[in-house]
Amino acid sequence: MHFAFAITEYFPFGGAQRDFIAIVTAMAKRGHQISIITTAWQGEKNTDWQYFILEHKEKTNHGQMNALSKYLVEVKEKNNFDAVIGFTKMLGLDIYFAADNCFTATKYKGFNTFLPRYRTYAKIEKNLFSDPELNVFYLTDMQRQQYQAAFDIAQQNNVILPVCVDDSFRYDQAAWQEARRWRDSQLKESNKIVLLFVAADFKTKGLDRVIDALASLEQAELSKFTLWIVGTGKRKSYQDKLEKLTVLDYHFFGGQSALRPFYLAADYLIHPARKEAAGMVLAEAMAAKLPICVTDCCGYAFLAEDDAESVLLDKDDVLSELSHFLRALTMKAEIPPRGEGSERVLSVSRAEFCADQIESWVNK
């Protein structure tokens, strides 16, 4: 069969992008013909796949989305695809992987309903979900309820994905010891508390909140931390703020394809996100038994409930609670080397699960 996969732009280190490439690869390994529809592709291209890359002159994000949505419809009309699977809301999708929460339910309110940006996103979402044949992958039940409240969606047309990570993220003693040796090689002082921040979008996932919370500490408290930042976000403004925290050790590692060593080497994953439909990094960290400190608005925030060392932050009082948490860490006699993890994180391939379901939907 011939499947087209659509995404706004592809780069190797984003959460939705990681799901995207894993599912596309799983479908390709099953012998299906693959086409890609996007505005940009970073990284190597598979020579067996066909690429439809829209060259556009739109300067705004909503203008770009509108152009890509129209382009997808044009490409679909000219090609005999068995199904089009999208990781961004666009017209013409047969299957939607809900990497984001419902825009209409969370953003399209009050004055926002008059703004062109919001009107464009709401219109695309409404038109997409008006298709009674649309099939949807949801990341969490909370997310499904959001969409269900906004649109009349047939229950048989949607699937809630299990919380699952590749088995390679699982904690084991030998890998942990190796990661700790690597950690020691990265630290100026071995007794530091290592905070790990992983995100493609630094602003949305709250790097500024992490820095502000650290800045609220006394110098003696601040000196006990090292901050590791992994991701491809724009670092200039954050680096300027970090430079002012003269006693804080920090390091930008850039985008990383291998995250497991970071999960095993760190003491806490800090994720005070402003929004997060699910949060694959949270599931991966818990699989590695790395405690998490996460805002309660994140889809996978409930995983923190399974680990005594993990912390949920109130989305309405993030800075105060994060500052309190960090200050409390400095008062501990010692930091536990590992958390308890969560049994709700399954060692199941999400990509294979999705591939099975896509084939089932198309063949019904």
Share of the chain above pLDDT 90, in %: 73
Confidence at 109, pLDDT banded by 50, 70, 90: low
**Rounded average pLDDT over 115-140:** 89
Q: What is the pLDDT of residue 196?
A: 98
Distance (Å, rounded) from C-alpha 243 to C-alpha 291?
Answer: 27
Q: What is the pLDDT of residue 188?
A: 85
Q: Where are the alpha helices (DSSP H) in 130-274?
A: 141-150, 173-186, 202-205, 207-215, 219-222, 236-243, 260-265
Class of domain 167-330: alpha beta
pTM of the model: 0.86
- pLDDT single digits (tens) 27-37: 999 999 999 99
Q: What is the pLDDT of residue 63?
A: 83
b/e code 251-282 from CB counts within 10 Å (16+ = b)? ebeeeeeebbbbbbbbbbbbbbbbbbbbbbbb
Distance (Å, rounded) from C-alpha 39 to C-alpha 101?
Answer: 22
Distance (Å, rounded) from C-alpha 77 to C-alpha 149?
Answer: 31
Distance (Å, rounded) from C-alpha 301 to C-alpha 313?
Answer: 9
**Rounded average pLDDT over 45-68:** 88
- Phi and psi at residue 19, in whole multiples of 5°? -60, -45
pLDDT, mean over the chain: 92
Distance (Å, rounded) from C-alpha 279 to C-alpha 71?
Answer: 29
Least confident range of 20-29, 76-85, 98-107, 156-165: 98-107
Domain segments of the chain as ranges: 2-162+348-363, 167-330
Distance (Å, rounded) from C-alpha 301 to C-alpha 293?
Answer: 9
212 residue type, one letter? D
Strands, sheet with 135-138, edge to edge from the N-terminal-most edge strand:
50-53, 33-38, 2-6, 83-86, 95-97, 135-138, 158-160
Nearest to 258 by CA among 353, 166, 350: 166
Nearest to 297 by CA among 314, 285, 284: 314
Class of domain 2-162+348-363: alpha beta
Q: What is the pLDDT of residue 243?
A: 95
Model confidence at 14: pLDDT above 80: no
Share of the chain above pLDDT 70, in %: 98
Model confidence at 110: pLDDT above 80: no
- pLDDT single digits (tens) 138-196: 999 889 988 988 887 777 789 999 999 988 899 999 999 999 999 999 998 888 999 99
- pLDDT single digits (tens) 228-248: 999 988 999 999 999 999 999
Beta carbons of 284 and 167 less than 8 angstroms apart: no
49 residue type, one letter? W
Model confidence at 85: pLDDT above 90: yes
**Could you give the 3-state DSSP secondary structure of residue 144?**
helix
Better-predicted residue by pLDDT, 269 or 18: 269
Confidence at 114, pLDDT banded by 50, 70, 90: low
Calculate the CA 190 to chain-centre distance.
Answer: 30
User: Does the fold of domain 167-330 match that of domain 2-162+348-363?
Assistant: yes
